[in-house]
Structure 1
Amino acid sequence: MKRINNLILALAGLFAVACADTFEERYDLAVNTDRYSVTAEAGKLPVTVYCSGAWTAQLTAESAWATLDRTAGSGITTIRLNYADNPGLTRSVGVVLRGSGLEKTVTVVQKAGITAPELIFLSKDLAFANGAYKGTAAFETNLPDELLRDVVPAVTYAAEGDAWISDVVYHADDEEAGETEIPLARRGLITFATAANATGEPRTATVGFSVTDADGNVFGDSFTVTQSADEARITLADDVAPIEGGRRAVAFSTNLGALLAEMKVEVTYADPAVADFISDVELGAGELTYAITANEGVEKRYATITVSCADLAGGVVSASSNITQRVTAQPREVSFADLRALFTAEDKSYASDEDHIDYLLCRVIGDAGNPNMDQNLNTGPNSITTDENDCTNYVQSLDGRYGFRLKFAAPADNVCLRGEQVKILLDGVTLSRESDPMRYTLRGLKAGNIEKAAEASALEPKARTIATLTDDDIYTYCALSGLEFSVKEGAYTNVREYDAIGNPCNANLSFAGGTQAQKAKDGAANLLYDGDNDAIYMLVNMNCGWRRTGRSVPQGVGTVSGIVVHTPMERWGGNVGRYSIRPFDEADIDIPRAAASAYATLVEWRLDKAVISVGAYKWNDNGTYTVGSAANSATQLVQNRMHATTDNTGGGARLYSENRMLNQTVTADRSYPIAIVHGYRGLNVSNYVPGDGTTMGMSKYTMLGFLGNVAGWYEWNGDTWTGKTNGIVMEFSTAGVGGSAAAVSFSTAAGKHSTNEAACSWTNASSYPVYWKVEYATSADGATWSDYTEAVNAATGERGFEMRSLPWCINNSSTRTSVFDTANRSGVYTQSDFGFGLVPYRFVLPAEVLGKAKVRVRISPSSDVIATWNPGIDGYALGQTHRNLRIARTYPFDIANGVYVEDLSIQYK
């Protein structure tokens, strides 16, 4: 409105001048206004110049967006300012007018083309480790590049000191920012360099980047750079990817967070032929993510993702993530040797790793249902269970080198048949190791652990001798050569079978009194020896149908095959050697029936029932005996010395006892009695005669009973034991006999018997010394003797043996009490485990016993520990003795007993 009024006044003045020809208006230099505002769109702005003379016009600065259509003139003239579209902030340009010696500036302001100008850094805090690094700060903006190109970023340090940020440069980036709150945004970058931090402390600086529009408004942002005093670090976790693959993330950390986008990521593969299964690797704050395809192979896949970052000096810091991708669990064979190495002293359960189903490939050398797989155990005084045997089987490696015993959870799970090749799935199986000797058992197997791999085929045993057996042979199938039976008469199980575990032979038997068999005896340990004077026990359970065949055992020299085991037989004196052998059946006993031996018999004492009467008798010095009867026992007692029944020494071999009878007056013919007690020697059930007491027993020979009392086996000085013992002595000559070795063999047990065979009963239980030794002494002249030297047990390698209880029962079957129950309750001995049967032994004699005028072999107690009765209520499975009761009474000791011996022989080679 002001402009219009001025114009009217000017026109009125002109009109007045026009009316007066003599008036003329003059203008030195004038414009209608000195400030114009135009829109952001391109256009033309008219500017009228009032000047009476000449004038000029020019822009205050060269401008790419504004031009003048004329730059000079005179008088009143309108010029036009041409302006382009404004894509950026509010901007201005000046038009300088000069004329009539005057100068005026007209300012033209063009409005902003940007609705909401912004510049924002994407990260406000950039972290660096100690070192020289190139940093990049990205921002988003809708400001045009030409506006930012000449802006110099400003660096402000938090603390005084050297400038450690340099080369701060703006870089245009026409890439669109994507989704953002800033309209029409694009990207931009500020790059800079850091210097190494020698201060030992963290430091910070702020970098600002901004522009100011024509109205004085500031648009921009800043970011903070933090540099630690620590060296650069990158850490990256490993990963195990599932079979199905997918998107994965692993932990990632670094103190170079500002350089995250600059870090190099590389994927390498363990097998170049199995590659390219990892893609889309991305680094983010706190994690690295990647994509992995599904593993459709049968092997694990392996890759490595490496993240690295280089500094300006070329140094590199890096870290790697080892990627393992699982595979469907695959069967994997575990060798016997590797599996043995996993056994420890403590039982442990086997577990395959998540990628495998481990199995043991093996050959079955046992047999499900075979009655001779393991020792059956007592579950009560008169009860034995076969579960232990029925749950047991054996396998060995395909080469036969190693073996394992299998213990199934239940008999029904035992499905392994002899000769089969099977896979034992190991998961959940308990690894159980026992030492001295070292042996290995897989326990807790179920039928589901067994997979059949091949049909059964014939087994070939490993060829061994007793001497060449090692712990590695335990639970393997071996053939031991050069063996012969120590007792070549009788059955494979020389025991009174009436007392044995229920079996076809005793199923219908009853004693004369009508009671049933007590079922207390499980098996027998029969002794074999070879030409090297080594011995081993063959273990045969009572449920083996071939334990009695109606004929005696083979009498020659041959091979016995079976599974080598270590089984402490408490019912047979405990220690039956480091190794024993369990045949599958009689076919494993490949010994000729014809008599043969690696040894020559020097002397033996064996009496046959066919020629010896039951009852008292008198042995004559000429080697004959006088048969008597019980009615004449007062005058017909066995004398001190007994002639050998076989004597290859020229005569004079004698057997006698140093033990005296209870309360016996010492006389020449009654001090050391030897009684004849017929054994239990039937070979099959047809030998049984009710009430006869001969039911399927030991060898064909008659036992020799060395009767007396416990104290009689010990030498006394008044009421004090001297520490010396009495024994059973074999005395013979070896004059003129040469060779490399000799041995004494015998079978023995202890307890009480009657000289009347029919009166032999389990009710006649009695105590006896527990630990015994075998000694030898020699005399070159028949008068002067060497000291006794202990002989070595050929089966155990030890000196001495533990005497077995012959009676198995107790004094009173109804009350289960005994005369010693009250006095010695804490040390009572379990007899309820035992059935009739003597234990065969063989002791090695050195070659030095040969060529002597006289030799004595002596069997005597080696300690004062004795066995005592047990009422059968507690501890019925403890075996021979508690081994803690010692002689505490003075002589005479009122416990009658007998030590029974048969099959005595001296051999040499």
Structure 2
Amino acid sequence: MPGDIIGLQRPAADVHRVADAAQDLLGLVETSAQAVTERNPGAASDLIRKEKSIGQLTDEDIYTYVSLREVEFALPDGSYTNVNEGYFGTANHTSCVPRTLCDKDGGAISMLVNNKTPWRRDGSGMPKGKGTLSGVIVHDLQPRYGYTNEGYIGRYSVRVLEKEEIDLAASESSSNRQTLVEWNWNNAEVRTNADGTIAPDRGNGSLWCTDPAAKYLLDNEYNGLTTSAGLNSKNALKFENTYWWDFAENTGYAVALKFSTEGAGANLSLNFTNSQGNAGGTSIYGPVYWQVEYSTDGVNFTVLPESGFCCRPFVYWQGAGGKDLSYCAVPGYADRVFILPDALRNRPEVTLLIKARSTQCIASNTATVDQGDTGTITSDMAANKRSPMRFGTIAVKSNK
């Protein structure tokens, strides 16, 4: 309406004041530009270096360059970006991958590797020993990996600037940590115990699903050393044919592992990589929220404090346009590290449960961050909506 247009006009005096302010700002920009005498490329060596352990980091370290002492990768299989490379670098797809670092004091932090980093998969794999890793400390949100819709993956993460800043020993012999028991399926085979449970590849123990109806088989993971060989077939274990919820008892089913901790050092931990789904539009409705529980008698279990984690389904293509799941899809297996109670050390038998904590699942295959994980698993859902859980490595470690 004409009256509305007149009502939005500024008085002449205001227009003049705005013009004067703009002119002042332009003059400031011109003066600042003239003050620049030369430009030189920067390098990591130019930065002021601080040395700290993971546990010593504070908010004052955010956006500063820090050298982290005595760290190592918690799960050093494969490459720095164990994902399906086809989902890197385009709209709505993954821009970086978090890999978890740990130290002998029980500290853990994610190292973020961008999807265009040239050394992400250069054929050399990952260092398996300890050393110093330097980079810029950030507070970064990763909705695909984070526990909440906001993508919280820990208060601090580290971004390295050059591969040379990952100054860790290649050999596991230099590690501060020892492996008590590990399931990894790197030989593309499943070994079983006399009771039918799954035997580990290192050490002694048992692994099974607490849902009697569940079945297991080997499937793919993405731990290839080069970008042209990102997919490794039959190097991960998949439990399927379960909703992961006991509707009669109103509690979650779990992946259980039993082992001895005799000879364990300090900072006993459960380390594993996992994801869920079959990379398709039906099997995406698995439980999003999980937790770890522990027991020394196999009967009475206690929830491990701060062990809640988020596991969203695999990414997959939708339709001819190639659009994928929005915020919730992960194109690989995510790292998990949980410090276990000191009371579990030097026990003849410890049982851990990686257990669904609710029936909450993603809202749909087009869910956005705002819609979040607002779906619900029900007993009358179609059988093809049972979402499998996948594990690339499951290990229990401690200090030497």
Question: Partners in 1 of 2:100 and 2:34 — Cα distance?
Answer: 37
Question: Partners in 2 of 1:449 and 1:859 — Cα distance?
Answer: 61
Equivalent position of 1:696 in the other structure: 230
**CA deviation vs aligned residue, 1:15-36 (integer Å, no higher than 9, x gap):** xxxxxxxxxxxxxxxxxxxxxx
Matched, 1:860 2:378: no
Question: Partners in 2 of 1:452 and 1:482 — Cα distance?
Answer: 41
Matched, 1:746 2:264: no
Matched, 1:733 2:251: no
**CA deviation vs aligned residue, 1:107-134 (integer Å, no higher than 9, x gap):** xxxxxxxxxxxxxxxxxxxxxxxxxxxx
Q: Tell me if structure 1 keeps the 8 A contact 2:221–2:392.
A: no
One-letter identity of the residue aligned with 1:643: A
Question: Partners in 1 of 2:397 and 2:322 — Cα distance?
Answer: 48
One-letter identity of the residue aligned with 1:495: V
Equivalent position of 1:897 in the other structure: 387
Question: Partners in 2 of 1:743 and 1:592 — Cα distance?
Answer: 21
1:701 Cα deviation from its structure 2 partner: 7.9
Equivalent position to 2:94, from 521, 535, 539:
521
Question: Partners in 2 of 1:815 and 1:838 — Cα distance?
Answer: 21
Question: Partners in 2 of 1:452 and 1:788 — Cα distance?
Answer: 64
Distance 1:892 1:588, change over 3 A: same
Q: Tell me if structure 2 keeps the 8 A contact 1:489–1:552.
A: yes
Matched, 1:773 2:318: no
Q: Tell me if structure 2 keeps the 8 A contact 1:562–1:588.
A: yes
Question: Partners in 1 of 2:144 and 2:33 — Cα distance?
Answer: 36
Distance 1:900 1:785, change over 3 A: same
**CA deviation vs aligned residue, 1:844-888 (integer Å, no higher than 9, x gap):** 102211122211111111122112432x4x73xx29x61222234
Distance 1:701 1:848, change over 3 A: farther
Matched, 1:533 2:106: yes
One-letter identity of the residue aligned with 2:193: D
Q: Tell me if structure 2 keeps the 8 A contact 1:739–1:908.
A: yes
1:890 Cα deviation from its structure 2 partner: 4.1
SS of the residue corresponding to residue 144 of structure 2 reads helix
Equivalent position to 2:208, from 653, 656, 659:
656
Moved more, 567-576 or 897-906: 567-576
Equivalent position of 2:373 in the other structure: 883
Question: Partners in 1 of 2:357 and 2:328 — Cα distance?
Answer: 24
Q: What TM-score, normalized to structure 2?
A: 0.81
Equivalent position of 1:582 in the other structure: 159
One-letter identity of the residue aligned with 1:715: D
Question: Partners in 2 of 1:765 and 1:542 — Cα distance?
Answer: 27
**CA deviation vs aligned residue, 1:31-68 (integer Å, no higher than 9, x gap):** xxxxxxxxxxxxxxxxxxxxxxxxxxxxxxxxxxxxxx
Distance 1:724 1:892, change over 3 A: farther
Equivalent position to 1:843, from 338, 345, 358:
338
Q: Tell me if structure 1 keeps the 8 A contact 2:312–2:362.
A: no
Matched, 1:788 2:302: yes
Q: Tell me if structure 2 keeps the 8 A contact 1:491–1:547.
A: yes
Distance 1:833 1:448, change over 3 A: farther
**CA deviation vs aligned residue, 1:45-99 (integer Å, no higher than 9, x gap):** xxxxxxxxxxxxxxxxxxxxxxxxxxxxxxxxxxxxxxxxxxxxxxxxxxxxxxx
After TM superposition, list the pairs within 5 Å mapping 1:763-842 onto structure 2. Answer: 765-779=283-297, 785-791=299-305, 798-810=306-318, 812-813=319-320, 830-831=325-326, 834-842=329-337
Question: Partners in 1 of 2:37 and 2:257 — Cα distance?
Answer: 58
Q: Tell me if structure 1 keeps the 8 A contact 2:193–2:206.
A: no
Q: Tell me if structure 1 keeps the 8 A contact 2:77–2:223.
A: no
Matched, 1:621 2:193: yes
Question: Partners in 2 of 1:854 and 1:905 — Cα distance?
Answer: 15
**CA deviation vs aligned residue, 1:288-321 (integer Å, no higher than 9, x gap):** xxxxxxxxxxxxxxxxxxxxxxxxxxxxxxxxxx
**CA deviation vs aligned residue, 1:683-734 (integer Å, no higher than 9, x gap):** 114xx3xxxxxx4247x98111011232xx11122xxxx3311100111122
Equivalent position to 2:115, from 521, 539, 542:
542
1:450 Cα deviation from its structure 2 partner: 8.5
Equivalent position of 1:493 in the other structure: 81
SS of the residue corresponding to residue 296 of structure 2 reads strand
Question: Partners in 1 of 2:141 and 2:128 — Cα distance?
Answer: 27
Question: Partners in 1 of 2:152 and 2:316 — Cα distance?
Answer: 19
One-letter identity of the residue aligned with 1:565: V
Q: Tell me if structure 2 keeps the 8 A contact 1:742–1:906.
A: yes
Distance 1:800 1:854, change over 3 A: same
1:605 Cα deviation from its structure 2 partner: 0.4
1:495 Cα deviation from its structure 2 partner: 0.5
**CA deviation vs aligned residue, 1:634-672 (integer Å, no higher than 9, x gap):** xxxxx951011111xxx4x10111135xxxxxxxxxx33
Q: Tell me if structure 2 keeps the 8 A contact 1:732–1:855.
A: yes
Q: Tell me if structure 1 keeps the 8 A contact 2:283–2:385.
A: no
SS of the residue corresponding to residue 576 of structure 1 reads coil
One-letter identity of the residue aligned with 2:51: A
Question: Partners in 1 of 2:328 and 2:308 — Cα distance?
Answer: 23
One-letter identity of the residue aligned with 1:708: N
Question: Partners in 1 of 2:35 and 2:170 — Cα distance?
Answer: 40
Equivalent position to 2:247, from 716, 724, 729:
716
- Between 1 and 2, higher relative CO (CA 8 Å, sep ≥ 6) is seen in 2
Larger Rg computed on CA atoms = 1
1:899 Cα deviation from its structure 2 partner: 0.7
Matched, 1:470 2:58: yes
Equivalent position of 1:132 in the other structure: none
Question: Partners in 2 of 1:894 and 1:493 — Cα distance?
Answer: 30
**Which structure shows the bigger proportion of residues in strand conformation?**
1
Q: Tell me if structure 2 keeps the 8 A contact 1:733–1:854.
A: yes
Question: Partners in 1 of 2:385 and 2:200 — Cα distance?
Answer: 30
**CA deviation vs aligned residue, 1:489-539 (integer Å, no higher than 9, x gap):** 21111101022116xxxxxxxxxxxxxxx8722210111101111110000
Distance 1:697 1:585, change over 3 A: farther
Equivalent position of 1:123 in the other structure: none
SS of the residue corresponding to residue 481 of structure 1 reads strand
Question: Partners in 2 of 1:450 and 1:731 — Cα distance?
Answer: 67
Question: Partners in 2 of 1:853 and 1:891 — Cα distance?
Answer: 41
After TM superposition, list the pairs within 5 Å mapping 1:385-534 onto structure 2. Answer: 448=33, 451=36, 458-501=46-89, 520-534=93-107
**Which structure shows the bigger proportion of residues in helix conformation?**
2
**Count of residues in Structure 1 that have an aligned counterpart in Structure 2:** 366
Question: Partners in 1 of 2:210 and 2:200 — Cα distance?
Answer: 17
Structure 1 residue runs without a partner (length 5+): 1-350, 358-426, 429-446, 503-517, 623-638, 661-670, 689-694, 753-760, 792-797, 817-828
Structure 2 residue runs without a partner (length 5+): 1-20
**CA deviation vs aligned residue, 1:354-380 (integer Å, no higher than 9, x gap):** 9xx9xxxxxxxxxxxxxxxxxxxxxxx
1:741 Cα deviation from its structure 2 partner: 2.6
**CA deviation vs aligned residue, 1:163-207 (integer Å, no higher than 9, x gap):** xxxxxxxxxxxxxxxxxxxxxxxxxxxxxxxxxxxxxxxxxxxxx
Identity between Structure 1 and Structure 2 (%): 25
Distance 1:701 1:495, change over 3 A: same
Question: Partners in 1 of 2:63 and 2:98 — Cα distance?
Answer: 18
Matched, 1:592 2:169: yes
SS of the residue corresponding to residue 67 of structure 2 reads strand
After TM superposition, list the pairs within 5 Å mapping 1:205-604 onto structure 2. Answer: 448=33, 451=36, 458-501=46-89, 520-573=93-146, 574-595=151-172, 596-604=174-182
Equivalent position of 1:823 in the other structure: none
Equivalent position of 2:238 in the other structure: 705
SS of the residue corresponding to residue 119 of structure 2 reads helix
Matched, 1:641 2:187: no
